């Protein structure tokens, strides 16, 4: 079985504690915790900036929230 087979990928995923959230889910979670101002921004690896808009090309996000 190669490392890139679907079965191996599923096994590797089940061992991980990582979770992935859509921006809408992050927004909902933060609102349910009482945050009012929520900004979800794009982030480049090692270069977080509040000036970067979130795009479909971004793997990382910067979330800034205020109560």
Note whether residue 49 is domain-resident: yes
Q: According to the model, what pLDDT value does residue 38 have?
A: 96
Note whether residue 37 is domain-resident: yes
Note whether residue 5 is domain-resident: no
Residue-number span of the structural domain to which 30 is assigned? 21-66
**pLDDT tens digit sequence for 3-55:** 444 444 444 555 667 788 899 999 999 999 999 999 999 988 888 889 999 99
Note whether residue 16 is domain-resident: no
| Structural domains of the chain, count | 1
Q: Which long-range contacts link 9-12 to residues 24+ away (Cβ below 8 Å)? A: none
Note whether residue 10 is domain-resident: no
Note whether residue 31 is domain-resident: yes
**Could you tell me the pLDDT band of residue 64, with boundaries at 50, 70 and 90?**
very high
Distance CA(26)–CA(63), nearest Å, equals: 9
Which string of DSSP letters, residue by residue, matches 18-49? Answer: -----HHHHHHHHHHTT--EEEEEEEBTTB--
């Amino acid at each position: 079985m190669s490392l890139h087979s679907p079965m191996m990928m599923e096994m590797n995923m089940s061992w991980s504690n990582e979770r992935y959230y859509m921006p809408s889910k992050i927004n909902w979670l933060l609102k349910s915790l009482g945050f009012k101002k929520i900004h979800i921004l794009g982030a480049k690896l090692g270069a977080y900036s509040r000036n970067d808009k979130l795009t479909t090309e971004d793997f990382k996000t910067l979330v800034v929230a205020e109560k």
